[in-house]
A and B are shown apart, each in its own frame.
Chain A
């Protein structure tokens, strides 16, 4: 039973990582940049949702939608102001700008909401207690259950979106070959904006889900999950949507199992250790495409 409850916790945490990793991987696929500010968009999303319920007295679902709208706008704004002027200059310049944006968001949050942790009320608070199975031996929290469901829905939704819709196909085309896509009449600018918008909306959902399970909300809340999700995206093969899902869930499960069965202090080291081993065996990640070099 301990094993099973840890597995569920791991899957739930992994689902959050997977949703965040999806944002990383999509942005990486389309603009070949590591968007380090993504973790902080999660934090902003969680704060907006917190404000929605605590100050505006909105119902939980409305606060989530509000957070998604604000984060979508934020994502488009960041891309347009900070990243677009640097497009085509190589990944390192954009990487540093992304770090600047990350500092900006963290410090702006610090000024607006202060450094003291806010206690985030779970959006599933109204549902009451957790579900208990096997005569109370196994309890599943609503948060864990809904996080898993949300991850599955998002996963299916994104696969359909990128596979079937016109915008999704445009995204894949731009990530495959930017120049050729433009020649085919695809508006590259708006497609990239769209990718940032979707990634940021997903980050808002992830932020709400993360803080529903782990309620302490601080300006630095997004930093570590951001790094872990980034790891997850690489783990699964960066640029690949199923890879991000798989990587996220594996990282979450490994983290929770490491914490429960090996050492609580070394859980991060275990996660990163597994990542290193996987990348050494399979250098392009679990589901990543191997790119052969042409001379």
Chain B
């Protein structure tokens, strides 16, 4: 992060980022204190790591959907690539004597690398397409990744690591299966912690905010706002879109690795289309291109189904209704006009604001 100081004051970008980091750190400290005092309910406690994962996923998807302006419906695919890589790496390193935090860090980095490479390879063909066609191809890739995860078997024994597409790995005694095809990963050592999740959220914020405020980020947004204009001033649209896509995939891999190492078993079905859509919901509900919106939406919508527990069987129904109502109340032009008129009437300002909010335009 470059500290830009003008006239002895911090630039608004730097100020904004410092506020963001401060808020995240503050939230972490508060939750940690509450947790140590035993004031966090056990159901919420179990959700702390998933919340961090979903924040990472949502912010990284926002980089593609909000900032780069391409609808991606296959984000869970990158998440699963990261998760499985993380699980395998952690499984291999189990006997290496590495401390748990070191193992988690290596697993997360490997997850990020694999997902990033995958994102790069998929991005090359995908980003040639536009609009809904691009969306459907990302969906297709997400489904293909899930399908491949369904037939991958991996295990390790004293001879080393085995990877096959059928369950007959020929492991010797004492060997251990790491991936079981459609049964997913089993007996995963749960090494993810809330602190690690918090660090990942900070890293993601750092990466995405710096991209947004850099020359490359402005180029990415220029390509989103007007592709032809951006091309005509000499920007390589493909390069910038690919950059956003790859970084987003790598971040998703990171989040996925953390997610994978938080459960003792993990089925490939977990990373289906619905998960991609869930993350997209966080992004759109939080506001496109709005990083804080993504963070808040991811947190609230992860807690919401639990918080609606008192509705018992009706809770997912209530969740759906809340989702529809929130969308209508946030985006409906009629309701917007109504509230704007109400505000103008009762709280008249001296001059009308010409600024349009960034999150309101889809």
Instruction: Answer whether residue A48 sits at the interface, using C-beta atoms and an 8 A cutoff.
Output: no
> Is A279 touching B327 in the complex (CB atoms < 8 A)?
no
A223 to B277, CA, bound (A): 13
Interface size on A, residues (CB 8 A): 46
Indicate if the CB atoms of B129 and A96 lie closer than 8 Å. Answer: no
Contact A100 B71, beta carbon cutoff 8 Å: no
CA distance A263 to B65 in the complex (A): 34
Contacts of A266 in B (CB 8 A): 147-148, 151
* CB neighbours of B285 from chain A (8 A): 96
Is the CB of B33 closer than 8 A to any CB of chain A?
no
Q: Is the CB of A268 within 8 A of B143?
A: yes
| B323 and A103 contact, CB distance less than 8 A | yes
- Once the chains bind, are B327 and A107 in contact (CB under 8 Å)? no
Q: CA separation between A58 and B295, bound complex, in Å?
A: 52
Q: Known contacts A89-B362, A283-B130; is A99 also within 8 Å of B277 by CB?
A: yes
A96 touches B133 (CB 8 A): no
Contacting A at CB under 8 A, from B130-178, are 130, 132-133, 135-137, 139-141, 143-144, 147-148, 150-151
Task: Kindly state whether residue B357 has any CB partner on chain A within 8 Å.
Answer: no
CA A237 to CA B321, docked complex, whole Å: 32
Chain A's nearest CB lies how many Å from the CB of B179? 14
Given A82-B324, A97-B324: A89 in contact with B137 (beta carbons within 8 A): no
Whether B45 sits at the interface, judged by CB under 8 Å, is no
B143 touches A101 (CB 8 A): no
A170: min CB distance to chain B, Å: 24
* Residues on the B chain within 8 Å of A283, using CB: 128-130, 133
B362 contacts A238, C-beta separation under 8 Å: no
Q: Determine the chain A residues whose CB is within 8 A of the CB of B125 once the complex forms.
A: 276, 280
Which residues of chain B are within 8 angstroms of A88 by Cβ–Cβ distance?
333
**13 chain-A/chain-B pairs, Cβ below 8 angstroms:** A89-B331, A91-B362, A93-B330, A93-B331, A96-B281, A96-B285, A96-B323, A97-B327, A100-B320, A100-B324, A111-B313, A276-B140, A279-B129
Q: Does the CB pair B320–A107 fall under 8 Å?
A: yes
**Is B284 an interface residue, CB under 8 A from the partner?**
yes
Are A93 and B327 within 8 A (Cβ)?
yes
Interface majority SS (helix, strand, loop, mixed), chain A = helix
Given A107-B320, A265-B151, A34-B332 contact (CB < 8 Å): no
A293 to B227, CA, bound (A): 10
Contact, CB under 8 Å: A285 / B333: no
User: What residues make up the interface of A, taking CB atoms closer than 8 Å to B?
Assistant: 28, 34, 36, 82, 85-86, 88-93, 95-97, 99-101, 103-104, 107-108, 110-111, 223, 227, 230-231, 234, 238, 263, 265-266, 268-269, 272-273, 275-276, 279-280, 283-285, 293, 295
Docked Cα-Cα span, A85 to B323, in Å, equals 14
Given the complex of chains A and B, what is the CA–CA distance between A252 and B65 in angstroms?
31
Partner of B133 from the list A92, A100, A285 (CB cut-off 8 Å) is A285
**Are B284's CB and A93's CB within 8 A?**
yes
Q: Is the CB of A280 within 8 A of B128?
A: yes
Q: What 12 new A-B contacts, CB under 8 Å, besides A82-B324, A279-B129? A: A89-B331, A89-B333, A95-B71, A96-B285, A97-B324, A99-B281, A103-B323, A107-B320, A227-B273, A265-B182, A269-B143, A269-B147
**Quick check: is B41 within 8 A (CB to CB) of the other chain?**
no
Which range contains the number of B residues in contact with the other chain? 35 or more
Determine the chain A residues whose CB is within 8 A of the CB of B150 once the complex forms. 265
Contact B328 A234 (CB under 8 A): no
- The total of interchain contacts (Cβ-Cβ below 8 angstroms) comes to 131
Please, how many angstroms separate the alpha-carbon atoms of A111 and B311 in the complex? 12
Query: Are B133 and A234 closer than 8 Å at their CB atoms?
Result: yes
In the complex, B92 has a CB within 8 A of chain A: no
B335 at the interface (CB under 8 A from A): yes
Chain A residues, Cβ within 8 Å of B137:
275-276, 279
Contact partners of B350 in chain A: CB under 8 A: none
Instruction: Please name the residue on chain A nearest to B316 by beta carbon.
Output: A107
From A103, A104, A265, A293, contact of B147 by CB (8 A): A265
A86 B288 Cβ-Cβ under 8 A: no
B320 lies within 8 A of A101 (CB): yes
Is B228 an interface position by the 8 A CB rule? yes
Chain B residues near A89 (CB-CB < 8 A) = 331-333, 362
Q: How far is the CA of A283 from the CA of B126 in the complex (A)?
A: 10
Query: Bound complex: CA of A275 vs CA of B142, how far in Å?
Result: 13
The one of B273, B316, B334 that contacts A103, using a Cβ cutoff of 8 Å: B316
Give residues 304-362 of B contacting A (CB, 8 Å): 313-314, 316-317, 319-321, 323-324, 327-328, 330-335, 361-362
Q: Which of B132, B143, B323, B332 is A238 in contact with, Cβ under 8 Å?
A: B132
Are B362 and A90 interface neighbours, CB within 8 A? yes
Q: Which residue of B lies closest to A275 (CB)?
A: B140
CA distance A266 to B129 in the complex (A): 25
Of B136, B273, B330, which is within 8 A of A279 by CB? B136
Instruction: Name the distance in Å between A224's Cβ and chain B's nearest Cβ.
Output: 9
B320:A227 contact, CB within 8 angstroms: no
A92 and B288 form a contact (CB under 8 A): yes
Q: How far is the CA of A227 from the CA of B73 in the complex (A)?
A: 12
List of 9 A-B pairs having minimum Cβ-Cβ separation, nearest first = A90-B362, A272-B140, A104-B320, A103-B320, A100-B323, A269-B147, A100-B324, A92-B362, A93-B331
Q: When the two chains form their complex, are residues A97 and B319 in contact, meaning their CB atoms are under 8 A apart?
A: no
**Closest beta carbon of chain A to B102's beta carbon, Å:** 36
Give the chain A neighbours of B148 by CB distance below 8 A. 266, 269
Closest to A269 in B: B147
